[in-house]
Amino acid sequence: MNVSEALATRITCRDFLDTPVPPETVRKILENAKRAPSGGNLQPWHVWVLGGDRLKEFKKLIAEKLPQNPAGEGTEYDIYPKGLKEPYRSRRAQCGEDMYGTIGVAREDKTGRMMQFARNFDLFGAPVALFFAMDRQMGYGQWADLGMFMQSIMLSAREEGLHTAPQEAWAIWYKTLGEFLNIPEDMMLFCGMGLGYMNEEAPINTLRTARAPLEEFVVFDGI
């Protein structure tokens, strides 16, 4: 698989098979991804990888907490900017409508939407979980570096026939995650990511979000 194919086939997988991912494959993906660029070669990313019984233990812990606190524990950062303006607001809304449309959940079906949102915290059934954090000393540039590292993981996963689900939703459980994973206090949790084999039969995995034409966000000057 070349890079263009990996980019074209990468999606946020929202229904995984329970097929185990070999540990050596996970290590290979991370070895490849660590070549991602970072300003000054700081390599500011930190990752916790969960699988097997340890992941089951963690999922059970979250499942026990969800009924009493479906909104989680709050976040340490704004997942989306406050007062999101156009065209970003409409893009986000359309993404949600398209996603729920694949599984027949109407806008007024609040229960159905909450149930689907809760699936985030089962990692959509993924057998491997990755959680990403950054030293609190880092700034905007290093957060961009983390994003490039994560994208490298997602593309390397496609090369191995795997799919991923990057999930900022995990930010609402930063306290529980910090305690369970023993994340140092001088680090901030950013997000989680499910990793595994995609359930090709799941309707929700047919979602392909739209992309704006180049003319909407690129200025060509002299080329």
What single DSSP character describes residue 70? T
Neighbours of 56 (CB within 10 A): 12
Q: What is the pLDDT of residues 81-139, one digit of tens each?
A: 999 999 999 999 999 999 999 999 888 888 989 889 889 999 999 999 999 999 999 99
Q: What is the pLDDT of residues 162-198, one digit of tens each?
A: 999 999 999 999 999 999 999 999 999 999 999 999 9
pLDDT of residue 112: 87
Assign residue 141 a region (left: φ > 0; alpha: ψ between -120 and 50; beta: otherwise): alpha
Q: What is the pLDDT of residues 107-120, one digit of tens each?
A: 888 898 988 988 99
The first and second tokens of residue 82, run together, are 């406050």
pLDDT of residue 25: 98
DSSP-assigned states of every residue in 84-117: --TTHHHHHHHHHHHHHHHTT--TT-HHHHHHHH
Average the pLDDT over 8-21 and give the result.
Answer: 97
Residue that has been written with the tokens 């084999």 in this structure: 197
Q: What is the pLDDT of residues 30-70, one digit of tens each?
A: 999 999 999 999 999 999 999 999 999 999 999 999 999 88
In the predicted structure, residue 8 carries a pLDDT above the cut 90: yes
The CA-atom distances, in angstroms, between 194 and each of 24, 55, 84, 212 are 17, 11, 27, 26
In the predicted structure, residue 207 carries a pLDDT above the cut 90: yes
The predicted model scores a pTM of: 0.95
